[in-house]
């Protein structure tokens, strides 16, 4: 009888374990390794970073290598014509370092200049939407402080793919196709990014010899090639031909900046973002407001939890839009916005029974004193990088300087021409920025994460954190879980993925939310990557969002 009971118990255990592994809702497993892991939106980029790790590179070396490949394989979303932000965790010191590599407006570009041309709002495309690209200087600052390898080795994979070609992936081909007509309107952009005047289809091999030339310039002479050398000369010649205001001094005098990350706590976790001019403060504000509601008890993606998060988003974004700008030109009450007392007061504005369709900013206390890519890396020593890079809109300004192979960003479109706005256009000023890397810690665990997607990002970050903290999800499940997004600043419109239960969506409608149902894994919700390090075990974990073509790839074993 005892033998029968033991056998039955063993069978029950096997069935239970098999049920867990076979019936989970998570689509793919985390990547787990004692060596490094690179998570990126394209497998070739992640693989390039992993190879750099296997050659003895630091996490920063791998991040730059992956970013360079991303600029080739997803040129509509990022590239060296855009900006960059990063958070670096240094294992030996346990310190976090923030880098703001967002470019400034040309010195001669002003509100009066544009108004004299008959413009009443910032141009969305074209030469006057172009700000100085910060990415290459950002690479340089990261490598000088943390890197172990030279530019030549780090950029080697991207150069080779640019020259020999790569097969275009599914989602990227769709984005390329969607921007085909826009590219056709610009001769140099069309020559650079189209094949026989058509966008490349999924599986079609694409080459970019001009970008290979630009990467080789940087490999040989570093950041000066971009801001002083041959690349700079081509950018300036093109700007002059387009009657732009960009000058040699705008490029030469530009420098990205090391900044102190800002943070808040969320149920005993510490969550970090970069300070303004980015929107990361909105993610922290949203978490502070959410902390006043029992989301764990409400349940994941229940009517009550989604209502609380959507309303928290509106309050956080109202403050962000009102106060955030370049801190060199505006006084921003960062500490006041992030205070728990302020969040508690703001949370009381949320009606649990009704959606608010018009939310204004608060009065924080004044304390003294689908156009982006995200990637992250954790190396075998525990150094970690959270890096985001972007052109802003697809193909940025849609302008390409002759022979350079990359689009110039249109970040200037985020300036205001309203003199009362803290984000009003001024020469040598950086605009309010959408792209944000993130980091979170508790005990021996460190997580580098990010979710791209314009104004989607802060609200997606808050949802990811809640999935990990409130719902106990692992990083892969937390990325995969259904999300909502509200990209507008007014109204009760909300976009939500079809995997959220119909009953929940209907109940949100009764509260006044105007729901727009998207696909099960909608790109509108952005795409994320995450790496986690458990220092107590010396193990790295990687996760990649199925809303993208990417992957988390472990460092291959090194040759002895």
User: What is the DSSP secondary-structure string of 368-436?
Assistant: ----EEEEEEE-TTS-EEEEEEE-SSTTTTSEE-TTT-SEEP-GGGG-B--TTSTTB--TT-PPPB---
Is 148 domain-assigned? Answer: yes
Closest CA to 169 of 32, 53, 63, 69: 69
Distance between CA atoms of 75 and 516, rounded to whole angstroms? 29
Residues 410 and 541 reside in one and the same domain: no
Specify the CATH number for the domain of residue 332. 3.60.20.40
What is the pLDDT confidence band of residue 79, given thresholds at 50, 70 and 90?
Answer: very high
Confidence of residue 25 (pLDDT cuts 50, 70, 90): confident
Residues with Cβ within 8 Å of 452's Cβ and at least 6 positions away in sequence, in order, are 41, 77, 370, 371, 372, 373, 374, 388, 390, 435, 526, 527, 528
- Is pLDDT above 70 for 123? yes
In this structure, the answer to whether residues 81 and 125 fall within a common structural domain is yes
Q: Which domain holds residue 367?
A: 259-371+435-554
pLDDT of residue 21: 56
Residue 334 domain flag: yes
Question: What's the mean per-residue pLDDT of the chain?
Answer: 94
Question: Could you give the CA distance from residue 193 to residue 189 in angstroms, rounded to a whole number?
Answer: 6
The tally of domains found in the chain comes to: 2
- What does the chain come to in residues? 560
> Does one domain contain both 132 and 52?
yes
Determine the average pLDDT of the residues in 104-119.
97
Mean pLDDT of 429-450: 97
Q: Return the number of other C-beta atoms located less than 10 Å from residue 269's C-beta.
A: 17
Domain membership flag for residue 171: yes
Two structure tokens written together for 178: 């969607």
- Burial, 204: exposed, middle or buried (Cβ in 10 Å; 0-12, 13-18, 19+)? middle
Residues 400 and 350 in one domain: no
pTM over 0.85: yes
Residue 21 maps to a domain: no
In a domain, residue 189? The reply is yes
Would you say residue 471 has pLDDT above 70? Answer: yes
Which residues, 6+ apart, have CB-to-CB distance to 489 below 8 Å? 317, 318, 321
Distances (CA, A) of 321 to 104, 277, 310, 490, 558: 19, 11, 16, 12, 48
- pLDDT of 558 reads 76
Query: Structure tokens of 432?
Result: 């309010």
Looking at the structure, tell me whether residues 67 and 192 fall in a common domain.
Answer: yes
Catalytically active residues are 372
Share of the chain above pLDDT 70, in %: 94
Residues 44 and 94 in one domain: yes
Does 39 fall in a domain? yes
Residue 12 lies in a domain: no
| Structure confidence at residue 346 as a pLDDT band (50, 70, 90) | very high
The answer on 103 and 136 residing in a single domain is yes
Q: Are residues 88 and 184 in the same domain?
A: yes
Q: Are residues 166 and 281 in the same domain?
A: no
Residues 399 and 451 grouped into a single domain: no
Do 72 and 65 meet the contact criterion of CB atoms below 8 Å apart?
A: no
Q: Examine residue 86 and state whether it is found in any structural domain, yes or no.
A: yes
Same domain flag for 125 and 181: yes
- 199 to 195, 339, 435: CA distances (angstroms): 6, 49, 26
Task: For residues 206 and 354, state if they share a domain.
Answer: no
Distance CA 149, CA 37 (A): 18
Q: How far is CA 160 from the centre of its chain?
A: 26
Q: Are 279 and 436 in contact (CB under 8 A)?
A: yes
Side by side, the strands of the sheet bearing 514-518 are: 484-485, 493-497, 514-518
């Amino acid at each position: 009888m005892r033998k029968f009971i033991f056998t039955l118990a063993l069978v029950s255990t096997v069935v239970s374990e098999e049920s867990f592994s076979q019936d989970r809702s998570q689509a793919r497993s985390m990547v787990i390794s004692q060596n490094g892991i690179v998570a990126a939106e394209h497998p070739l980029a992640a693989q390039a970073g992993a190879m750099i790790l296997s050659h003895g590179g630091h996490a920063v070396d791998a991040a730059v290598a992956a970013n360079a490949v991303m600029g080739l394989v997803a040129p509509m979303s990022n590239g060296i014509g855009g900006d960059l932000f990063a958070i670096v965790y240094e294992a030996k010191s346990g310190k976090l370092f923030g880098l703001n590599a967002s470019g400034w407006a040309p010195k001669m570009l002003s509100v009066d200049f544009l108004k004299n041309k008959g413009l009443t709002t910032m141009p969305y495309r074209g030469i006057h939407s172009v700000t100085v690209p910060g990415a290459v200087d950002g690479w340089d600052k990261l490598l000088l402080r943390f890197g172990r390898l030279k530019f030549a080795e780090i950029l080697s994979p991207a150069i080779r793919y640019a020259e020999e070609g790569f097969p275009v992936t599914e989602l990227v081909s769709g984005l390329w196709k969607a921007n085909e007509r826009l590219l056709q309107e610009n001769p140099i952009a069309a020559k650079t990014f189209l094949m026989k005047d058509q966008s490349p289809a999924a599986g079609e091999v694409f080459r970019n010899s001009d970008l290979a030339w630009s990467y080789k310039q940087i490999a040989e002479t570093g950041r000066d090639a971009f801001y002083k050398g041959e690349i700079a000369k081509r950018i300036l010649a093109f700007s002059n031909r387009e009657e732009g205001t960009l000058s040699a001094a705008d490029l030469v005098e530009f420098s990205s900046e090391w900044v102190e990350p800002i943070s808040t706590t969320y149920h005993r976790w510490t969550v970090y973002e970069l300070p303004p001019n980015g929107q990361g403060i909105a993610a922290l504000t949203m978490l502070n407001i959410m902390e006043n509601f029992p989301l764990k008890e409400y349940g994941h993606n229940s009517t009550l939890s989604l209502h609380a998060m959507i309303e928290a988003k509106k309050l956080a974004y109202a403050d962000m839009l009102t106060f955030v700008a370049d801190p060199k030109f505006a006084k921003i009450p960062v500490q006041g916005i992030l205070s728990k007392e302020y969040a508690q007061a703001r949370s009381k504005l949320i009606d649990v029974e009704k959606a608010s369709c018009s939310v204004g900013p608060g009065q924080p206390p004044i304390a003294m004193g689908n156009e982006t890519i995200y990637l992250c890396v954790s190396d075998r020593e525990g150094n970690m990088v959270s890096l985001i890079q972007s052109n802003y809109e697809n193909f940025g300004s849609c302008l390409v300087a002759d022979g350079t192979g990359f689009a110039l960003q249109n970040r200037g479109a985020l300036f205001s021409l309203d003199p009362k706005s803290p984000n009003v256009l001024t020469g040598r000023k950086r605009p309010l920025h959408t792209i944000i890397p993130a980091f979170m810690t508790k005990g021996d665990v460190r997580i580098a994460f990010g979710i791209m997607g314009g104004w989607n990002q802060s609200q997606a970050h808050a949802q990811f954190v809640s999935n990990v903290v409130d719902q106990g999800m692992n990083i892969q499940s937390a990325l995969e879980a259904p999300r909502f997004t509200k990209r507008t600043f007014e109204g009760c419109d909300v976009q939500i993925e079809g995997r959220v239960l119909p009953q929940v969506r209907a109940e949100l409608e009764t509260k006044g939310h105007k729901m727009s149902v998207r696909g099960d894994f909608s790109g509108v919700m952005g795409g994320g990557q995450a790496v986690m390090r458990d220092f107590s075990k010396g193990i790295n974990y990687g996760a990649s969002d199925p809303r993208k073509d990417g992957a988390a790839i472990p460092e291959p074993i090194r040759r002895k």
